[in-house]
Amino acid sequence: MTDVPAHTIVVGVDGSETSDRAVAWAAEQARLEDRDLTLVHATGIVGTAALLWMDQAGVDSGLAMDGIRQDAEALLQEAADRVAELAPEVRVRGVVAELDPRDALLELAPEAAMLVVGSRGRGPVASLLLGSVAHALSRHPACPVVILRPAEPSVVRRGVLVGVDEHGTSTRALAFAYRQASLRRQPLRVVHCIFDVRAPSGDVGPAEAGYDAERLLLSETVSGMAEEYPDVDATAVLTRGLVDRTLVRLGEEAELVVVGTHEQGPVSGLVHGRTASIVAEQSSSIVVVVPEPPVDRRDT
CA dist 152 and 163 (Å) reads: 24
CA-only gyration radius of the chain, Å: 21
pLDDT in the model for residue 84: 97
Contact predicate 179/299, CB 8 Å: no
Give the angle subtended at the CA of 72 by the CAs of 69 and 76, to the nearest 5°. Answer: 135
Percent of the chain at pLDDT > 90 equals 37
pLDDT in the model for residue 65: 61
pLDDT in the model for residue 134: 75
The pLDDT-based confidence of 91 (bands split at 50, 70, 90) is very high
* Higher-pLDDT residue of 204, 139: 139
Q: Taking Cα atoms as reference points, which of 31, 89, 253, 288 lies closest to residue 178?
A: 288
Per-residue pLDDT of 50-88, as tens digits, reads 545 555 566 555 665 667 788 889 999 999 999 999 999
Please state which of the ranges 17-21, 127-131, 271-275 shows the lowest mean pLDDT. 127-131
Mean pLDDT of the chain: 80
* Higher-pLDDT residue of 183, 106: 183
* Higher-pLDDT residue of 3, 157: 157
Average of per-residue pLDDT across 165-183: 88
Average of per-residue pLDDT across 100-108: 87
Structural domains of the chain, ranges and CATH numbers in brackets: 9-148 (3.40.50.620), 160-299 (3.40.50.620)
pLDDT in the model for residue 271: 42
pLDDT in the model for residue 27: 97
* Higher-pLDDT residue of 147, 196: 147
pTM value is 0.83
